[in-house]
Amino acid sequence: MTDNKKDVPGGATRSHSHSLIESSISSGALILITLLTGVLLSRLLGPEGRGQYGSAIFWSNFAGTFLTFSLYEAALLKIRARRENGAGFLPSLLTLSGMLSLLAIALGPILVLTGVVKVEGIDSWVLLVFLVTNFILVVGQNAFGTVELSNLRFIMVNIERAVTPFLMMLCIVVLFLLDVADLPLLLLLFVACRLPNFVPRIYRYRHHLIGKVDTGFLKETGRLGWRMNLSHAAMGLAGEADRLVIVPLWSAQMLGYYFAAMSTCGASLAIVGQAIEVTLLPTLTGLGLDEKRRKIEQMFRFAVIMGLGMGVALSLAAPFLVPLVFGEAFTPAVYYVQGLIFASMIKPIISILSISHFSEQKMMPGIYTAGAFVTVFLTGFLITGFDHLPEFFVVLGLANLASLLTSLTLLVRAGLIRIGQEIVPGPADVVLLTTSLWHYGMQIVRRKR
């Protein structure tokens, strides 16, 4: 790799705040696109079709989370540690993607054609081709994305995050206007919308596509990825546990209601998390213990205000909002929205606590927190079987609560938060929170100008 130290694009010239604002705009756009896409899909497919489509997307996301074994995260750390131009590692990363693709091609038929992975109403061969093809494109994107991130060039990563969902939304709009509700066609379009992201990257890195494969780098990446994967897999399992249980268990219609509720609640809670992390979360690393503790306690109070405020508002608006937005066929989804908000409104608090642990560069708290969630959720499932809808949401809420209490206990032991008036919100917090959000909005407006 004789040219690895040449032309590190954007490496040291872009400020952290500039990149942060850029990423924030991308995240906000993604939240809005996801919500609009969910609404259009629901109106186009109806509850049953929405459930089938959502189940197929769930399995594709599940594969992308668990079959990459944290190798791209490990590769990023290794490249950054070497302080070299990431483009020189592209042949190695593409080789890694090729190996993972072969694994997917080998495992896919076993899991799908034997019925381990299935979706009601979708032919097994259609599902197999969709999952394998989508996975191959995802790991290809990951190879290029790792290069971009290693050079601190965030623009293409941020564009990719928004462009693919945006193109998919446009396709759904066309199908909606033509009244074409074809599920296999939608899955084909989902995969096809990933392709445009490859064009500028292949052109940009055309001189680095073929080259020497660094086997030493791949071995180091494999060893580190294996260690990192325990933490990432635990957190990924906690994040997907609800769908992992209900996708094989519930009917397509019930899943349609649930995915519609997720579109609504997920967008709302993501807005809360985005606002807190971007406007109020300073870089905790490097602060003294007392100052760091005060910041964490303040962010805890803000998360309580925003999570509960958004939860109450959405619960009250759901009976009017859901039928208006998704259509009368989704009226039963009102109960799913209210149940999901009840179970998930403390998630912004969990997010703040997780970031606080991460600022200390500690991975084990994430594993303990995820383990608490999975343990409570699976125990609740074994006891109740989720035969009745309220049981599911109560168990989901208890699992989130267990996750919060575990994370909070670990922070208390580390001396990073105190239990008492320090974490109880007051009027001053509401005023400061409102002011901060206003300044953030003005910052984005000035940025666009």
Radius of gyration of the chain (CA): 22
Residue 10 has pLDDT above 80, yes or no: no
Up-side HSE of residue 114: CA atoms within 13 Å toward CB?
A: 6
Interval 71-86: pLDDT, tens: 998 999 899 888 888 8
Pairwise CA distance, residues 49 & 51, whole Å: 5
Up-side HSE of residue 158: CA atoms within 13 Å toward CB?
A: 16
- Quote the Cα angle for 124-333-180, to 5°: 50
Residue 59 has pLDDT above 50, yes or no: yes
Q: Which residue has the tokens 């064009």?
A: 199
Residue 239 has pLDDT above 90, yes or no: no
CB of 49 within 8 A of CB of 181?
yes
DSSP string over 277-298: HHHT----TT--HHHHHHHHHH
Is the Cα torsion angle 308, 311, 314, 318 positive or negative in sign?
Answer: negative
What are 54's two structure tokens? 């959502």
Interval 114-125: pLDDT, tens: 999 999 999 999
What percent of the chain is predicted at pLDDT more than 70? 84
Count of residues making up the chain: 449
More confident residue, 134 or 37: 134
CB of 337 within 8 A of CB of 289?
no
Q: Which of 44-48, 316-320, 366-370 has the lowest mean pLDDT?
A: 366-370
Residue 297 has pLDDT above 70, yes or no: yes
Residue 287 has pLDDT above 70, yes or no: no
CB of 308 within 8 A of CB of 345?
yes
CB of 4 within 8 A of CB of 88?
yes
Would you place residue 443 in the very low, low, confident or very high pLDDT band (cuts 50, 70, 90)?
low
Across 140-169, average pLDDT = 84
| Average pLDDT of the residues of the chain | 85
CB of 60 within 8 A of CB of 135?
yes
For residue 278, the model assigns a pLDDT of: 46
CA-based nearest residue to 2, from 219, 212, 215: 212
For residue 358, the model assigns a pLDDT of: 65
Pairwise CA distance, residues 52 & 162, whole Å: 24
More confident residue, 368 or 437: 368
DSSP string over 54-76: HHHHHHHHHHHHHSSTTHHHHHH
Pairwise CA distance, residues 162 & 159, whole Å: 5
For residue 274, the model assigns a pLDDT of: 57
Interval 398-425: pLDDT, tens: 999 999 999 999 999 988 899 988 889 9
What are 233's two structure tokens? 């897999």
